[in-house]
């Protein structure tokens, strides 16, 4: 069974979009994959900090 995905629109400054797009291109990844990866790592870090408190 395919994984359910949620579509989420985000507004950001053009410069940030350009930086993320460049990073994704350097990593040979889609912009979506890059942003999902960044968010997953941020959640992991947040959970580590929350557990340590």
Does 15 have pLDDT greater than 90?
yes
Mean pLDDT of 17-37: 98
**Encoded tokens for 47:** 């959970």
Residue 29 to residue 26: CA distance in whole angstroms: 8
Consecutive H or E run containing 38: helix 31-52
Taking residues 15-19, what's their average pLDDT? Answer: 99
Model pTM? 0.85
Q: What does pLDDT average to over the chain?
A: 96
Q: What is the mean pLDDT of residues 25-29?
A: 98
pLDDT of residue 3: 85
- More confident of the two residues 45 and 53: 45
């Amino acid at each position: 069974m395919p994984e359910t995905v949620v579509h989420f629109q985000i507004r950001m400054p053009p410069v940030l979009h350009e930086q993320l797009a460049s990073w994704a291109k350097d990593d040979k990844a889609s912009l979506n994959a890059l942003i999902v990866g960044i968010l997953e790592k941020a959640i992991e870090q947040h959970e580590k900090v929350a557990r340590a408190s």
